[in-house]
């Protein structure tokens, strides 16, 4: 008897910190694409960001775990954090394929800002063979096939998700200025940030 494929959504990010924009987009995509699971994968050492401005992988992983709460279709993976060094999507997908086995159908989820840079990702030429890409709308960024490298258009889906103009950068800035982050992140993440005095420095 032929077994169905396991449809896995992979949501990569720095998650510094994870916020409701990430969670709402992931849940919307899960439902629209009938995905079996969404795996949040916090990056180890992000290649596109400056060192020093990233909170420790342990904090980012813990906040992600707290944020997914009781959503039984959401999980958090430490593959990129465990691998250490810079995180490459290609390596992550290959590793997940080993873990989940041959029946895996991978959908990599990115925001409109991130998908526009896909051709700059490490060994990006192999990515279309490894996964399908779901590019979600994000306030402040234009979502359209014209923004996507032609080599990726055949493996990329575009989807409008409920618009939440939230970014981790803005959350970090608000904390530095002593402003509220209530309702931008799950309450449990807000408490974790305050308890551990994260993002208060310059």
Q: Which of 8, 15, 68, 185 binds ligand ATP (CB under 6 A)?
A: 15
Four-point Cα dihedral 68, 53, 138, 142, nearest 10: -160
The contact mask relative to ligand ATP for 139-178 (x = CB under 6 A, - = no) is -------------------------x-xxxx---------
Question: Cα(first)–Cα(last) distance of the chain, in Å?
Answer: 59
Q: How far is the CB of 139 from ligand ATP (least distance, A)?
A: 7
Token pair, residue 29, equals 């995509």
Binds ligand ATP by CB under 6 A, chosen from 113, 130, 157, 159: 113
Contact of 147 with 115, CB cutoff 8 Å: yes
The minimum distance between CB 110 and ligand ATP, in angstroms, equals 4
Site for ligand ATP in 124-143 (CB under 6 A): 136, 138
- Taking residue 155's Cβ as centre, other Cβ atoms within 10 Å add up to 16
Answer whether 142's CB lies under 8 Å from 111's CB. Answer: no
Among residues 7, 5, 38, which one has the least CA distance to residue 22?
38
Is residue 16 within the footprint of ligand ATP (CB under 6 A)?
yes
Closest contact distance (angstroms) between CB of 102 and ligand ATP is 27
Residues that bind ligand ATP (CB under 6 A): 13-16, 21-22, 25, 110-111, 113-114, 136, 138, 164, 166-169
């Amino acid at each position: 008897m032929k077994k169905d494929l396991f449809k896995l959504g992979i949501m990569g990010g720095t998650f510094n910190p994870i916020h409701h924009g990430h969670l709402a987009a992931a849940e919307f995509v899960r439902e629209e694409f009938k995905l079996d699971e969404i795996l949040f994968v916090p990056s180890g050492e992000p290649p596109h960001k400056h060192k020093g401005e990233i909170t420790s992988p342990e904090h980012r992983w813990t906040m992600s775990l707290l944020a997914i709460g009781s959503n039984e279709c959401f999980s958090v993976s430490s593959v990129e954090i465990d691998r250490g060094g810079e995180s490459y999507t290609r390596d992550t997908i290959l590793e997940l394929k080993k873990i989940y086995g041959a029946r895996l159908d991978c959908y990599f989820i990115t925001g409109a800002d991130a998908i526009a840079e896909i051709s700059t990702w490490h060994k990006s030429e192999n990515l279309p063979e490894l996964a399908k890409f779901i590019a979600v709308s994000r306030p402040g960024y234009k979502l359209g096939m014209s923004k996507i490298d032609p080599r990726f258009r055949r493996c990329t889906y575009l989807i409008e998700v409920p618009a939440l103009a939230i970014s981790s950068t803005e959350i970090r800035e608000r904390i530095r200025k002593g402003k509220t982050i209530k309702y931008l992140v799950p309450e449990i993440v807000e408490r974790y940030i305050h308890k551990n005095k994260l993002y208060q420095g310059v």
